[in-house]
Amino acid sequence: MVGKIKLAKLTLNGYFNYGNLLQSYALQQILRRHAECVDTIWHTEDNFLPNTWWAWSWKEPIKWLLNRGGFRSRMASGRIGWEMVRQGKIRDWADRYIQIRAVRHGLKEIEQEYDFFVVGSDQVWNPYFGDISQNFLQDVPQKKRISYAASIACPTIPANLLNFYRDGLLGMQSISMREQEGAETVYKITGRKVPVHIDPTLYLSSDAWDKVSRMPAWYHGEPYLLAYFLGPIPKEIWRIADALDLPLVHLLDPNVYEYYVTGVDEFIWAIQHAELIYTDSFHGSVFSILFRRPFVVCDRMPANSKDPAGGKMSSRIDTLLNYFHLERRRGTKENAYAVDDPLHVDYTGAEDVFVRERARVDQYFEEAFAEKG
């Protein structure tokens, strides 16, 4: 099945999010079924500066340089030190499993080296993610521009960006979206009907994910309820864990070092072996389904009164749950984040969904790559 083509893959860069790297790795593995070379293109310097310095005032860098009172040691053992460890573990996983190429001067410098450029998945077309112009691949010929499971991640495009999006979308040779809402947005803007495909993490089997996972250091043999929240964790989750007599493992808990610094490989394992998962994360839900684990996906709570985070989750979660007829696994503030029979999920028919949707992915890429040259 592997052809003699070279592919460049673009997605969101960073070492800060499990889901971003997991989808990037999964799409790389899918593309390797069709190509002899797949490079993930980074538009930034290929160095590692943890995303923690924003928390410092102008005084902290001076204190770091002078190191008065053992400032460096105190910082390393605090929140910033924890974040550096966490991101270091995430980077280590990426360096082992994702073939990354840093490009500092745009795609024009490498355009002739690749047969196609694939952008996706994740929120590569989110209008609120800063400058995403490179994600429409306009520096390469139109015949080389392909998207896979791209996400806009919001119901409407800001009016001042409509022309930019229309030109970018019409310039793509092949378009695949991750959410039905995104496909409808593309149609409204361009009149172009495009397919919706599964997040690439769902394409790989549980056995494939086993090969890149490992048991976390914090696991000591007891069953547990896993909480993975990118927004604030609702207080009701603690009560639910108590009612089920399950210890609560709260990943990203800023008060528990072992949980906070969980790596990507440990994250995979933690979901696979949990008695129950509570999450507000799309990929937390995805991996629960992949491993056929009981889970509840919650509306994301805003971090503050100005944070509209919760509303941005709805479309991608709706699409995911609809695939597998799991709409009842939603936890909301109105139902106190409780669901009926929380420790049991009916995954009857899930394998049929996987087989069907993975075949659709294969067909999409076979057709997209058929016009080489």
- Predicted confidence at residue 367, as pLDDT, reads 96
Q: How far is residue 103's CA from residue 314's CA, in Å, rounded to a whole number?
A: 34
What is the value of pTM for the model shown? 0.90
Q: Which residues of 239-248 are buried (b: 16+ CB within 10 A; e: fewer)?
A: ebbeeeebeb
- Predicted confidence at residue 17, as pLDDT, reads 85
| Domains of the chain listed by start with CATH number | 6-43+103-202+355-368 (3.40.50), 53-96 (no CATH), 209-342 (3.40.50)
Asked if 154 and 126 count as a contact pair (C-beta separation under 8 A), the reply is: yes
pLDDT in single tens digits along all 373 residues of the chain: 567 899 999 999 876 789 999 999 999 999 999 999 999 998 765 444 444 444 455 565 666 566 666 655 655 566 777 888 888 899 899 999 999 999 988 899 999 999 999 999 989 999 998 888 999 999 999 999 999 999 998 889 999 999 999 999 999 999 999 999 999 999 999 999 999 999 999 999 999 999 999 999 999 999 999 999 999 999 999 999 999 999 999 999 989 999 999 999 999 999 999 999 999 999 999 999 999 999 999 988 875 544 444 445 578 899 999 999 999 999 999 999 999 999 999 999 999 999 999 999 999 999 999 976 4
Q: Is 347 exposed, middle or buried (0-12, 13-18, 19+ CB in 10 A)?
A: middle
Strand residues in 4-126 grouped as ranges (E): 6-10, 37-42, 100-102, 116-120
